[in-house]
Structure 1
Amino acid sequence: MCGFANAQGGKIYIGMNDDGKGVGVEESKKLLEDISNKKVNSLGIVADVNLHIMLSD
């Protein structure tokens, strides 16, 4: 996250395997809250954290 903050931003995808396929995340709402809190409290970074739901074909 610090690298993105020091550059021009970017996206971090959580819950994807090395092939780019969605594998899911347990307790995604809690994870969103934890990431938001940790980036502000530990790093002092204010940025959007969003949940994107991938639908299978």
Structure 2
Amino acid sequence: MDLCGLATDHLFARDSFFERLSAVGGVLAVDRAGTGLGFNEVLDKLAWLKL
């Protein structure tokens, strides 16, 4: 088999986190700017509350 798997990203509402990811032809492409999956800028823009 050339391609196998379940790509469900198209089933969810797009948000700032999804904008950093893409799955073209079944291959996950991740924006590596920052730490991990590249969510640093997105996380910095969230309103954080100290608990």
Regarding TM over 0.5, the answer is: no
TM-score by length of 2: 0.30
Instruction: Give the structure with the larger helix fraction.
Output: 1
TM-score by length of 1: 0.29
Instruction: Give the structure with the larger strand fraction.
Output: 2
